[in-house]
Amino acid sequence: MQVVAHRGASAEKAEHTLGAYLAALEAGADALECDVRLTADQHLVCVHDRTLARTAANPGLVSTMELRDLAELDFAAWKHPWSELDDEAPDMDPELGKVLTLRKLLETVADYDRRVELAIETKHPTRFGGLVERRLVEMLAEFGWTGPDAPVRIMSFSFTALQRVQRLAPDLPLVMLMDKAHHWPMLRRLVDPDWIIGPGIKELKAHPGFGRRLHQSGRRIHVWTVNTKANLELCQSLGVEAVITDKPDTMLRLLGRK
């Protein structure tokens, strides 16, 4: 079972920061998960929300700000707001808490001393529409990561977004994310047989038959967000291929890999 660090080691470090991803790599995560959005000047950045209020204390929209403006913000302070008052808190490199571009994350993975995979989610709806997927595939092509051996898979809750990626880079694995089990009877008629299905753990727990049907149909399953032993065991019982977790170190220990 692959252990995928959700926005990095986000239980302990501020999500989507370089610090969170370096912590996940150090913990031994098999793969890193990130969300990507386009800035006003067409840079792909690793940010989940459309606004910056939660993670950077700024009311702005990612899509209306340029990268240089985002680079001035602190994306880590919200996680440990009282750290400046703690004399025993370790000093942190400010660069580890800045906005993280997708290019920087790809470079980090490419330069790492072992194979690490990437699960990249494109966020929709967005004012840029299909330009997000086009820019993403263009960047992956720069790294030579659009073929069948690429350490990358693309995820989205948007069926249309995944269709775009399929047209632009037909060899890349695709993950159809789902947060509503009752959508599956309709989706299963549309989703290609080789697409991976990515249900949330809450749906698998609330609708046990849903997970069993996925498993019995032979579908590859990647589940988010798995942070407890009980949830991990449920995933194991369903033959889940990858768990996306805020706590990669904990999951690796529970799996007996540490």
- Active-site amino acid positions: 6, 48
- Strand partners of residue 243: 3, 223
Whole-number Å distance between alpha carbons of 148 and 136: 16
Tokens found for residue 33: 């998960």
Contact 232, 243 (CB under 8 A): yes
Contact 72, 40 (CB under 8 A): no
Whole-number Å distance between alpha carbons of 245 and 228: 9
Residues 6 or more apart in contact with residue 70 via CB below 8 angstroms = 39, 45, 52, 56, 62, 99
Can you count the helices (H) and strands (E) in the chain? Answer: 11, 9
Host H or E run for residue 105: helix 102-111
Whole-number Å distance between alpha carbons of 246 and 99: 19
Host H or E run for residue 121: strand 117-122
CA neighbor of 121 nearest in space, from 15, 236, 11: 15
**86, 93, 171 from 224: Cα distances, Å:** 33, 30, 24
